[in-house]
Structure 1
Amino acid sequence: MSGTDPEPRGSFLDALKRRTVSSDLQPPVPPALRQATAYAWRLLVIAAALAVVVFLVIQLKLLVIPLLVAILVTALVWPGFSLLIRHGWPRWLAIVVTVLGTIAIITGLIWLAVWQITREFGSVRLRTTQAVEQFRQYLIDGPLHLSARQIDDGLQQAGTFLQQQAEVLWTGALAIGTTLGHVGAGLLLTLFILLCLLADGGGIWRWTTRLFPRVARPAVDGAGRAGWRTVKSYARTQLLVATIDAIGIGLGAFLLGVPLSIPIGVLVFLGAFIPFVGAVATGALAVFIALVYNGPLIALFMLIVVLAVQQIESHILQPILMGSAVKVHPLAVVLVVAGGAMVGGIAGALFAVPLAAFVNVVSVYLSQKAWLHEGEALASRDLIWQTVPRDRARRS
């Protein structure tokens, strides 16, 4: 044993008390930091879940894109389809008329575009040659003062570059063939899903809601129906906006003598389904065609027409019609379209706004617990109906 006595028990308890007191005197974690941390890890979990969903969508894009296209087309044709059903048409006949009518409209637009391109191909080629010659002469006589030999050397270098890239182009032919095969399969799958949605959309939705727990089914059903109403409103409104844009820009091109006015109108109509971005791109194409074939003055007037139509869309149609249908701010629409294009290209830009509108309405519906209020309204309406005298109910 050592000569020193062990430390008394009282001194050990005093030391432990001092350590506890000193730890209690340390400043605690601020409540704001705790709250921010709680939000942070929850946001990380949500971001991880969204990343998984986006990854799965990209991997299954050959199935997801036809499904989304079919849902959007169903929303577009639903007013006419439901009108036929309300007038007593058999469901199968309403489906046949709706689908064949939609295919006929799309085929008619494509036929008109191809017809005008074929009809004006000779004059367009002649104007293209004249425009190239004028541009060549401008390079010689203009401020650049290029010589004819320099221009020919530049064209020769461009041809050499294309020859060097021939192997890449031939390799890409196989990819194009594969893409065309995917497009064909996607069109057939879209048509099949469209027929299923028109034939038994309600049954499909009821089956979907049964995948959720019983206690969550009223909320899921109400939120889905609210989102579907928003998607239908978006589709009808966007169809009206696209039609007005196409008529305005196409008619302006026709009155100004710009060739290919019908194909320009068709492109504007299709591009308008991508809000803001599609209208800008197709309008720029119309101005470019006017510049090449009709000169700077007509191109300036074409630019005025495009800007006027886009101003009407941006300040009248979008705020009044689209704002009430989608309930998403125009700035959010632009950001969503840009983000969708970055993630999914043209398909992402096309479906970004309806998806954002759907998510927005569903989130608001769930946060407000609107299905409870709907249940109370139905219950009160049933109670009022039960209190009405029987003879009065019979008369009503």
Structure 2
Amino acid sequence: MRIPDNSGARQAVPQTSAPTTLRTLLTDKLGWLGLRSAQILLALALVAVIVFILVQVKLVVIPVLIAIILASALSPVVGWLRRRGLSPIVATWVTLLTAIIVFGGIVTLIVVAVENQWSELATSASDGIDQLFTYLTEGPLAIDATQLEDFRDQGVEFLTSSQFGSGALAGAAAAGEFFTGLVLVIVILFFFLKDGDVIWKFFLSPFRGERLQRGRRIGTTSVRVLGGYVRGTAIVAFVDAAAIGIGLAILGVPLALPLAVIVFLASFIPLIGATVAGILAALVALVANGLVVALIVVGIVVLVNQLEGNFLQPVVMAQSLKLHPLVILVALTAGTVLAGIIGAVLAVPIAAVGWAIVKTWNEPGLSKQPALA
């Protein structure tokens, strides 16, 4: 009997799984997701630490940011004066002193207008408060007069308490920080206007090749976006302030000039600034001129905001601020939480510059050296 030879037959070899190693754990789908999550968390932690440090030294950081924005807006003036034959330092001094004189003139106009009309507004405010008290106690709400008197007494007690005194001391400290920051802004602005291109060139000196070109693109883009944003916002704010101020003057609302200036300054906070300033104007009109005039002021504010949002702003700001309103709202909220009203003003231009830098990060071509002067 012949025994068949099965040596050439295919033998079944049991399959064994590869041993689990650290490399396989990190390279499978779950490991890849874990690595990316850890990287994102690390990046967020780094950003949080940087933001925390910047907030701690905001007395220096905020003046630097304001000076950069103002230098970007004023750089065409300095450049124009240089092309007319003035030396860099003379052109810088002329531009800086002119800006200070204009700003000082605006502040002087506000103080004079408030001083001349303050007694009238105070009398109107007192009458308006009495009318409001009568409406609340005798009108449809029928609030108990005792409750209102208790509320008033609590307010008087707070104003005479030590807590209010500590708040006043805190306000004095804030005023000191304000003037310190103002001096820093002026000094830093002077050097940015005079030597902005030299300063940026110094920061780029360690880089070569594509990194150097990218740094130049970032500098050029930042100056262009910041300058365009400030100049465009100033145009929109001036139109808003002029329209609302003329309307207030025609209606005989007191403090029309200071309120117009407040509208101008508040317009640098997108979406909500001009609206809040318009509400303030309506409240002044309500106290001084009555309900009908206040409603007319509200109508003027709404009309001006609609014309600005639908016609003026898309034309003026089209090339300098291309952000979705939701992004602007988030930036405003974050800026307000971190640095108050100044943060709200600075948040949107910083966000606009950040987005412009992202878009131009890998853009080919050689950019000119950025010039803040």
* TM-score, scaled to structure 2: 0.86
RMSD of aligned C-alpha atoms?
Answer: 2.8
**Offset from partner CA, 1:100-153 (integer Å, 9 cap, x none):** 111111111111111111111221122112212222322343123456666545
Q: Are 2:47 and 1:50 equivalent residues in the alignment?
A: yes
Does structure 1 conserve the Cα–Cα contact (< 8 Å) formed by 2:204 and 2:215? yes
Matched residue SS, 2:320: helix
What fraction of aligned residue pairs are identical, expressed as a percent?
A: 32
Does structure 2 conserve the Cα–Cα contact (< 8 Å) formed by 1:323 and 1:329? no
Bigger Cα displacement from structure 2, 305-314 vs 332-341: 332-341
Matched residue SS, 1:144: coil
Matched residue SS, 2:323: coil
Distance 1:349 1:146 in 2: 38
Q: Per the alignment, do residues 34 and 114 of structure 1 end up closer, same or farther by CA in structure 2, a change over 3 Å counting?
A: same
Q: Which residue of 2 is the match for residue 160 of structure 1? A: 157
Q: Which residue of 1 is the match for residue 181 of structure 2? A: 186
* Alpha-carbon distance, 1:308 to partner: 0.9
* Alpha-carbon distance, 1:331 to partner: 2.6
Q: Which residue of 2 is the match for residue 340 of structure 1? A: 335
Name the amino acid aligned to 2:157. Answer: T
Question: Higher RCO, 1 or 2 (CA under 8 Å, sep at least 6)?
Answer: 2
**Offset from partner CA, 1:244-278 (integer Å, 9 cap, x none):** 11111111111111111111111111111111121
Q: How does 1:136-147 map to 2 (within 5 A)?
A: 136-145=133-142
* Alpha-carbon distance, 1:154 to partner: 4.3
Q: Are 2:226 and 1:231 equivalent residues in the alignment?
A: yes
Q: Which residue of 2 is the match for residue 209 of structure 1? A: 204
Does structure 1 conserve the Cα–Cα contact (< 8 Å) formed by 2:73 and 2:226? no
* Alpha-carbon distance, 1:67 to partner: 0.3
| Of 97, 112, 115, the match for 1:115 | 112
Name the amino acid aligned to 2:347. Answer: A
Distance 2:320 2:150 in 1: 56
* Alpha-carbon distance, 1:89 to partner: 2.4
Name the amino acid aligned to 1:72. Answer: I
Q: Which runs of 5+ in 1 are unaligned?
A: 1-15, 378-396
Matched residue SS, 2:253: coil
Q: How does 1:1-396 map to 2 (within 5 A)?
A: 19-20=16-17, 36-145=33-142, 151-163=148-160, 166-212=161-207, 216-366=211-361, 369-370=362-363, 372-374=364-366
Greater gyration radius: 1
* Alpha-carbon distance, 1:343 to partner: 2.3
Distance 2:158 2:167 in 1: 17
**Offset from partner CA, 1:309-332 (integer Å, 9 cap, x none):** 111222223333223212222332
**Offset from partner CA, 1:362-387 (integer Å, 9 cap, x none):** 11111xx22x4338x9xxxxxxxxxx
Q: Which structure: greater helix fraction?
A: 1
Q: Per the alignment, do residues 175 and 21 of structure 1 end up closer, same or farther by CA in structure 2, a change over 3 Å counting?
A: closer
Name the amino acid aligned to 2:84. Answer: H
Q: Per the alignment, do residues 149 and 170 of structure 1 end up closer, same or farther by CA in structure 2, a change over 3 Å counting?
A: closer
* TM-score, scaled to structure 1: 0.81
Name the amino acid aligned to 2:366. Answer: E
Q: Aligned pairs, how many?
A: 354
